[in-house]
Chain A
Amino acid sequence: MRKSNGKLFLYELKKTFLIPSLLAGIYLLVALFDTVVFNVGAGAARDYDRYSHIFLYVFYAVVLTLFIYRVFTMRKLYEKMRIAHEKLFWIHVLYIFTYCFLCTTALLLVGTLRVYKMKNGYYAEYVGYARHSLFALQGKTKWYFLFGASVGLTGVITYSVAVFIQHLFVCRDKWYFKAVWGCVFAAAILSTHFVITRTYTCPALGNNEGFATPLPYGGMSYQTYKDFFEHGLSSPFDPFSALLPSAEILRCDLCWNIANPWVLLSGLFVIVFAFVSIGFLHRAKNANYAYTVQKEKNNEIEN
């Protein structure tokens, strides 16, 4: 059993490593080259923030698509090799988390280097910029390094939901079963969302602590951001006095405030719920198997 775990681990690594590492490698090398060779002012640093923001979404989409596609195409083959769906689920969870974590952290480190260079070259701009930069550690809380882990967790949750839906549709023919189980799962996600929207005051992820919705809606102006805190919540940070009013603040909606135990727990709850559901669905599917195979055989004969 342990032997097949290792083989599965290595096989999945071999098949999923290339695309994300090429994608991230090319972008990061170009960014690093740009950082080292050219001067970095506030404009250049902000551009890096914007492009990296977009790049992170692209990377996230590619990684998620890759893994969901693999489950979709390889599910039966792994079943034939007597590898449990749950085992594949955990290995994919591990890889998605790792890829997202590494990519975000690498973007963060290159950004930090850029801001560091700016500090040495354009100190006046640095003062106004550092705190609201998305991909830089300067001017943030000590928890900001969890940014990568937070994106990783979002990836894992999205994957769990997608794989759960996939297994739900594969395993059961009866529409009411899909509907009932789907509603139960939707309730779990909504309650998680509820927990997150009620706990965003915790000062964990620098300027991303206001994150509450799972859908991206682009950049937010400083004024909107300021109003949001002044009228809605009490900001744990200073009032951004050094920022220019026109400065754009990018909010990364792939980011969860995972330094908050409640948010972290509810995120993990969705993942565990998906895992348990997959096991349950396949147990139920087994009771239905003879019918499915006989139907396939009959179709083949008819054809």
Chain B
Amino acid sequence: MFGGKNIQKRYGAREVLRDVTFAIETNKIVGVFGLNGAGKTTLLRILSGLDGYYKGTVYKTDFEDVAYMAVENMYPPEMTVKGLIEFCATFMPKQDTAKIMEQIQEQGIKPKSFLRNLSSGMRQYVKFLLTVYSGASVCLFDEPLTNLDVNMRERIIQTLISEINEERLFIVTTHEIKEIERIIDGFYVLKNGTFSPYYECEQIVDETGASVEEFYKEKVNAKE
């Protein structure tokens, strides 16, 4: 079980996360949707352990490690792709380096290329591969489809489907709901600093007849 209890986060006077409580089981791809500034990135940083200044509890029973694909560029442009993969392998011993090398070569990315010479889409793809093949049992993806062309998006979606298993959990935040809705099991809506109840995608489609994106729009724009 991976989850959080009463997570609160404040930036000065502004309360970003008021009371986030949730619990997710393995073998699931879960979406976290919300408007800009809702606190999605903040929440993922807290869950990944990057931000230690918050109130509440993050618990991860049965999960060894958490990998995080950040929206901001955290990789030094002076590093080569191979150097970066080696660096990550040092700190993530379960990383499937062979698989990452195979995938980047398939995309025509040379291992000796400097990160500064890659396009933003290529860099985004390398970031994604390092997270998904990190071997971590919880993978957090912050906007994984941004900056990518249609083929690359499809590749990412297919990789997510193929890599999820009984020991792993993927949490994805994105605004590209239409593209991600076919692979997620369910989602939360982050609004006013709190999580909505967990919505099962299949159940929503069956009961309301609306797509996940339509349902989300309705929820996020509803006045309280």
Q: Which residues of A contact B (CB under 8 A)?
A: 4, 7-8, 11, 73-74, 76-77, 79-83, 283, 286-291, 293-294, 296-297, 300
CB pairs A–B below 8 angstroms (5 shown) = A11-B87, A73-B78, A81-B88, A287-B12, A290-B14
Q: How far is the CB of A281 from chain B (nearest CB, A)?
A: 13
Are A7 and B50 interface neighbours, CB within 8 A? no
Contact status A290-B91, CB under 8 Å:
no
A76 to B50, CA, bound (A): 11
Give the top 8 A-B pairs by smallest Cβ distance, nearest first. A73-B76, A76-B74, A80-B74, A81-B91, A286-B53, A82-B49, A11-B90, A290-B11
**Which A residues touch B76, using CB under 8 A?**
73-74, 76-77
For the complex, give the distance between the alpha carbons of A290 and B41 in Å. Answer: 8
B42 near A: Cβ within 8 Å? yes
Complex Cα distance A83/B91, Å? 10
How far apart are the CA atoms of A300 and B39 in the complex, in Å? 18
Q: Please indicate the chain A residues that have their CB under 8 angstroms from the CB of B68 in the complex.
A: 80
Q: A286 vs B53: C-alpha distance in the bound complex, in angstroms?
A: 7
Majority secondary structure, B binding face = loop
Q: Counting CB contacts under 8 A, is B149 at the interface?
A: no
Residues of A within 8 A of B45 (CB): 289
User: In the complex, what residues of B have CB within 8 A of residue A11's CB?
Assistant: 87, 90
- Besides A11-B87, A77-B87, A293-B71, 16 other A-B contacts (C-beta < 8 A): A76-B72, A76-B75, A77-B76, A77-B79, A79-B50, A79-B74, A80-B68, A81-B91, A83-B91, A286-B53, A287-B11, A289-B42, A290-B16, A290-B42, A293-B41, A294-B36
How far is B36's CA from A288's CA once the two chains are assembled, in angstroms?
Answer: 16
Known: A77-B74, A80-B70, A297-B71. A289 touches B87 (CB 8 A): no
Interface class of chain A by DSSP: helix
- Report chain A residues within 8 Å CB of B84: 77
Residues in A neighbouring B36, C-beta threshold 8 A:
294, 297
Task: Decide if A289 touches B11 in the complex (CB within 8 Å).
Answer: yes
Residues of chain B contacted by A4 (CB below 8 angstroms)? 91
B131 to A, closest residue via Cβ = A80
Inter-chain contacts of B87 with A (CB < 8 A): 11, 77
Contacts of B56 in A (CB 8 A): none
> Is B197 an interface position by the 8 A CB rule?
no
What are the residues of chain B within 8 A of A81 when measuring CB–CB? Answer: 88, 91
Q: CA separation between A10 and B71, bound complex, in Å?
A: 29
B72 — nearest CB in chain A belongs to which residue? A296
B37 at the interface (CB under 8 A from A): yes
Task: Tell whether, in the assembled complex, residue A286 and residue B72 are in contact, meaning their CB atoms are under 8 Å apart.
Answer: no
| Minimum distance in angstroms from A231 CB to a CB of chain B | 52
CA distance A289 to B51 in the complex (A): 9
Q: In whole Å, how far is B50's beta carbon from the nearest beta carbon of chain A?
A: 6
**Chain A, Cβ-Cβ closest to B42:** A290
Of the candidates A7, A80, A286, the one having the most CB atoms from chain B within 10 angstroms of its own CB is A80
Shortest C-beta distance, B51 to chain A (Å), equals 6
Please determine whether A73 and B79 come into contact, CB atoms closer than 8 angstroms: yes
Docked CA distance A76–B36 (Å)? 23
Residues of A contacting B42 in the complex (Cβ-Cβ under 8 angstroms): 289-290
Determine which of A8, A79, A294 lies in contact with B37 in the assembled complex, contact meaning CB atoms within 8 Å.
A294
Interface residues of B in 33-90 (CB under 8 A from A): 36-37, 39, 41-42, 45, 48-53, 68, 70-76, 78-79, 84, 87-88, 90
